[in-house]
Chain A
């Protein structure tokens, strides 16, 4: 009765991993995005070592060298307080990535379990949770964020909260629709038939099968979270000076934009590249996880 597959092929989890890596490897855009993210992460982690002027990155001014254009000494020029923009961009990466990770964790941590419960329980619980989520979604998110920061006071921490609060309902919705379609599948009923408790069904059977779109969404969202934080920073409602923050840097460069274009442009460019990279990687992950591609030839 044994059907011996060729011996060199991996099976089980090893095969899953290899298949995903293959699909990612094949897509040059995804690789590009990954490369960018890798560089970003490394520079963020090694900021004090990577930045040529770490002190200036942290905020030390150097009024002798104000507003200098890009040169070998200052690769991206200096800002109005003489600080090396390249170093500040590197330190800004730290802020952005930390913020992105923190917000994603909060948003997923709130949104996904609520979506799981809403989708699984159905009925009044579902209604309650979804109406609450709908209420939040009814507000224009930027205004809501501004309002939150305005009441709590401008700081990075408060900006994180302000971005997270309007964001989690999207994940509740996403998770809930996944749960609703998965919970009808026979393997879920099989788990119930075998005596599994509701908890077991939710966390062992339904949740693992709903994660793919969440992972894709979270990846792409990280870019947009950085954009949102930068937006609040631009408005002066997030990171406070002298901490380097891309959004703040763009805002600072506004008044000098015509003659000293480099202050806004490089930080703006950093935001752009980062959002792009997350988008590309997110797309790549979506293709890699797409069940249609994997299980194309199950039945002929």
Chain B
């Protein structure tokens, strides 16, 4: 499961800055974030609301509403092209075909007035230039591959007639039908029940292996990350604060935020009187903070933390952290 060190990343995000112009000021939703994913690898991007993980993913496919959003700077390389410089037409050829995305709430990502079959076939016929018949056949295949029972019946159903788990499977079928190289999954199971969540995650991982895709798995759920990702990126308030292989992250979390987050989780089978909480709140995105954004909530913060933004440095092979208390000695 370890990535051979010489493999080139298939998708890499470099120094991405995506800002939003709000009535309260300029919100720096993503402020200089870089990460990459190798072919066949699962990269987990974890963070809480407001950390910018979803905005970063949407920026990859340039799905940010502009205005009020704006991808201010950065390089997003896919197959030696900078996606930020591509024409809209060529970008559309990549969206859904080479890089696919699935979202949290399938009810709002599937068009409620069209049948599942229609939506899937359309995508396949548009991207792969298949005839109607061939596209329909591919749709049926994909639905079956996603463990949907009686796919013919689902083809003629509308999204609201399906359960949450079924809708998510339909979304996965739609996203994977063109055999993309990269799948971006933004909180794919957050809206689902736990038992269904397990089914969907197992399905996604199986299909990923089968099609040899890379996956960027975005979630706030550390449990899902632990079970599915090979490498993990932790984001906080628009910045990347840590990156590590999954075992390293959980066993030797370097950044105080990551460590605190892991420790604050209630763990089954371990009952304590009080959970280890993290005091304070995530700073609002439009607030300008000169130093480390986590300093106000950090036990180990010193004056130097508030003066300059900490740089990401490698403390072990493959393990980077942005914290002067870990990197500067």
Interface residues, chain A, CB within 8 Å of chain B?
1, 3, 19, 22, 296-297, 299-300
* Interface residues on chain B, number (Cβ under 8 Å): 17
B279 is an interface residue with CB less than 8 A from chain A? yes
Enumerate 11 A-B pairs (CB-CB under 8 Å) in ascending A order: A1-B279, A3-B281, A22-B23, A296-B68, A297-B24, A299-B50, A300-B29, A300-B51, A300-B52, A300-B54, A300-B285
Q: In whole Å, how far is B218's beta carbon from the nearest beta carbon of chain A?
A: 13
Q: Are B54 and A297 closer than 8 Å at their CB atoms?
A: no
A1-B279, A3-B280, A3-B281 given; A296·B22 CB < 8 A: yes
B111 is an interface residue with CB less than 8 A from chain A? no
Tell me the number of A-to-B contacts counted with CB atoms below 8 Å.
23
Q: Are B23 and A19 closer than 8 Å at their CB atoms?
A: yes
Q: In whole Å, how far is B107's beta carbon from the nearest beta carbon of chain A?
A: 17
Q: In whole Å, how far is B64's beta carbon from the nearest beta carbon of chain A?
A: 12
- Give B258-285 as 1s and 0s: 1 = Cβ < 8 Å from A's Cβ atoms: 0000000000000000000001110001
Residue among B51, B280, B281, B285 making CB contact with A297, cutoff 8 Å: B285
B163 is an interface residue with CB less than 8 A from chain A? no
Chain A: CB-nearest residue to B48: A300
Q: Are B49 and A300 closer than 8 Å at their CB atoms?
A: yes
Q: In whole Å, how far is A157's beta carbon from the nearest beta carbon of chain B?
A: 46
The CA of A40 and the CA of B54, in the complex, are separated in Å by 51
A299 / chain B contacts, CB cutoff of 8 Å: 49-50
Q: In whole Å, how far is B57's beta carbon from the nearest beta carbon of chain A?
A: 12
B78 is an interface residue with CB less than 8 A from chain A? no
A297 / chain B contacts, CB cutoff of 8 Å: 20, 22, 24, 27, 285
Closest A-B pairs by Cβ, 5 of them: A300-B50, A300-B49, A299-B49, A297-B22, A3-B281
The CA of A19 and the CA of B22, in the complex, are separated in Å by 12
A3 / chain B contacts, CB cutoff of 8 Å: 280-281
B55 is an interface residue with CB less than 8 A from chain A? yes
- Give B36-67 as 1s and 0s: 1 = Cβ < 8 Å from A's Cβ atoms: 00000000000001111011000000000000
The CA of A134 and the CA of B281, in the complex, are separated in Å by 52
